[in-house]
Amino acid sequence: RKKPDFPPIALKKNSSIKDLAEKVHKDFLRKFDFARIWGKSVKFNSAKIGLDHKLEDNDIVEFHLKD
């Protein structure tokens, strides 16, 4: 229920969670566990998704990383 912490990141059409993780920080991809997503690309908000999930415009992503 928080507002997004960061400014929007523009990606090419048909980009995946993997593309976003690489753009945010190299450790996000290396330590990736799962992501939660809110938006048009999922049937239910806060869906738990993996690296291959395709993003849509205005999706909000929350990364969860392994220790």
Res. 26: pLDDT tops 70: yes
Given this model, what pLDDT does residue 1 score?
Answer: 64
Percent of the chain with pLDDT over 90: 79
Cβ of 14: how many Cβ atoms within 10 Å? Answer: 9
The strand pair at 47-49 and 60-65 is best described as: unpaired
Plot region of 43 (φ>0 → left; ψ -120 to 50 → alpha; else → beta): alpha
Percent of the chain with pLDDT over 70: 96
